Amino acid sequence: MKHSIKKGAMFGLDARIALAIFGVLSVISGAALYSAIQQSKATKLIADMNELGKAWEQYYLDTGSDLPQNDSSDNTSLFFYTLKLPQLVSNTDSASNWKGPYISYKADGTYRLDYPEYAYAYIYTLNDKSNWGNTTAFSTNGQCKSGDTCYKWVPLAV
């Protein structure tokens, strides 16, 4: 009786080297893709903030005034320095020469906008005494006066 011996195919050294190279390239390309995605998210965030700034600027050019303050009674409250962003969507305060809507996001309450990518957007008024790390100095009356260096601070809640 004759025995037949069957030999199985062995995974050759060349194939193992090719598999290792493919694995390394996959890891490198995956890391590059992740970095590109993170970069595009940062770019979108900056673009969203620029759109909000453009909307505020167009409102200012049309009406000749800044967005109204959310709360003008209590300057110890953070909401005293918050501007009424929903005014960019609808003219609820009856501003003259209002030609909006200036932005397509939904209004959420009296001082913020509902952002699809984030939770909410706000705008605060700061003055030039802000040191951006220890304390934040807000403009004493909540508005910029002639001669003051003021900033609009746009935080996005996530």
Look at residue 133 in the predicted model and tell me its pLDDT: 45
Q: Read off the pLDDT of each residue in 116-122 and give the average, rounded to a whole number.
A: 76
Look at residue 72 in the predicted model and tell me its pLDDT: 66
> Which of 43-47, 59-63, 142-146: highest mean pLDDT?
59-63
127 located within any domain: yes
pTM: 0.65
Q: How confident is the model at residue 91 (pLDDT cuts 50, 70, 90)?
A: very high
Its domain, for residue 138, covers: 13-157
Q: Read off the pLDDT of each residue in 111-137 and give the average, rounded to a whole number.
A: 67
CA pair distance 89, 16, nearest whole angstrom: 61
1 located within any domain: no
**Total domains, the chain:** 1
2 located within any domain: no
21 located within any domain: yes
Cβ neighbours of residue 67 closer than 8 Å, sequence gap 6 or more: 56, 59, 60, 83, 84, 85, 87, 88, 123
Look at residue 134 in the predicted model and tell me its pLDDT: 44
133 located within any domain: yes
Q: Read off the pLDDT of each residue in 98-113 and give the average, rounded to a whole number.
A: 86
7 located within any domain: no
93 located within any domain: yes
Q: Assess whether pLDDT exceeds 50 at residue 86.
A: yes
6 located within any domain: no
